[in-house]
Amino acid sequence: MSDEEDDDDDDRETGDDVDVLEKSDEKLKEPDMYAVVLHNDDYTTKEFVVEVLASVFHKHYAEATNIMLRAHRNGKAVVEVYTWDIAVTKIDQVHRKAKARGFPLRCSVEKQ
């Protein structure tokens, strides 16, 4: 069998018959980014907000406390900026945890 007839998948190794799709002037677009915003309320405990910021957003205690206090004082605070899927997944996790504990804690998303 000649090399040309050999139909196994070693084109990648030889470089034969491989179409190179290349457009040097085509820019790779950065993904749209979304801020997860934490909203203050009068009923959720400060401890629970810090616990959620630690467990869902992997914030250390000091940063979680700062974010919680910013929301408490200003009405809202940006927690972190993510791509769409990650932002909405984290917000869903916050709302589920809050509901399970009977707190009205809310987060929203703001396009950057």
Q: If phi over 0 gives left and psi between -120 and 50 gives alpha, with beta otherwise, what is residue 17?
A: left
Between 36 and 49, CB nearer to ligand TYC: 49
Which among 44, 40, 37 is positioned nearest to 90, based on CA atoms? 37
Q: Rounded CA gap, 101 and 48, in Å?
A: 9
Between 18 and 62, CB nearer to ligand TYC: 62
Between 1 and 48, CB nearer to ligand TYC: 48
C-beta of 28: minimal distance to ligand TYC in Å? 36
C-beta of 61: minimal distance to ligand TYC in Å? 15
C-beta of 110: minimal distance to ligand TYC in Å? 15
C-beta of 70: minimal distance to ligand TYC in Å? 8
Through-space distance between the first and last CA atoms of the chain, rounded to whole angstroms: 59
Between 72 and 97, CB nearer to ligand TYC: 72
Please give the sequence-ordered ranges of beta strands (E in DSSP) within the chain, or none if there are none: 34-39, 76-82, 106-111
The footprint of ligand TYC (CB under 6 A) covers: 38-42, 44-46, 49, 68, 71-72, 105
Which among 22, 30, 38 is positioned nearest to 94, based on CA atoms? 38
